[in-house]
Amino acid sequence: MGTRGQVLIKDTGVYLYQHFDSYNLPDLVKSVIKRNDRWNDPEYLTRMIFSDMIETDITGSTSYGIGTVEHGDIEFLIVVDCEKQTIQVNNDNIETFKDLNENQLIVRKTETINFKRKGEE
C-alpha cells in the first residue's frame, strides 16, 4: 500500500486524492500557495494544486482522483481554506497564505546573486 493523502478544498468540499508518496503533498500545496495567485478563487486554486499533483502522470488511470469524501486510510490530510486563506496539515498548526508567502520573500531576500559580465571568469 502507498502513502495515501488528500487535499481538501474546504470552500468547495472537493477532495484531491494521491495514492502514493503523499509525504510530498504538504510541500506541493504550499508551493502552489506561494505563487501568490488565485487565493480567492477556490476552483482555480484546486485546479492548480491538482495539476501539480498529476504533473508526471497526466494520462494515467490510477494513483490520483477527485472526490467529495475523506478516505479512511489516508496518512496526510491537507485542508486549504480560501475564505480564511489558511492551510492545515493533519490537524497541526494552521498557516496563513500570507505567512507562507512572507517566509518565501525572506528566503529570496537573503539569497546572494552573482552576476558576471560576458568574458569574465
Are the CB atoms for 45 and 11 separated by under 8 Å?
no
Question: What is the pTM (predicted TM-score) of this model?
Answer: 0.81
For residue 43, the Cα-to-chain-centroid distance in whole angstroms is: 14
Cell numbers placing 119: 568574458
Q: Which of 72, 79, 75 is nearest to 94 (CA)?
A: 79
Instruction: Enumerate the domain spans of the chain.
Output: 5-110
| Residue ranges in the chain modelled with pLDDT below 70 | 1, 103-121
Q: Which residues contact 72 (CB under 8 A, 6 or more apart)?
A: none
pLDDT of amino acid 118: 56
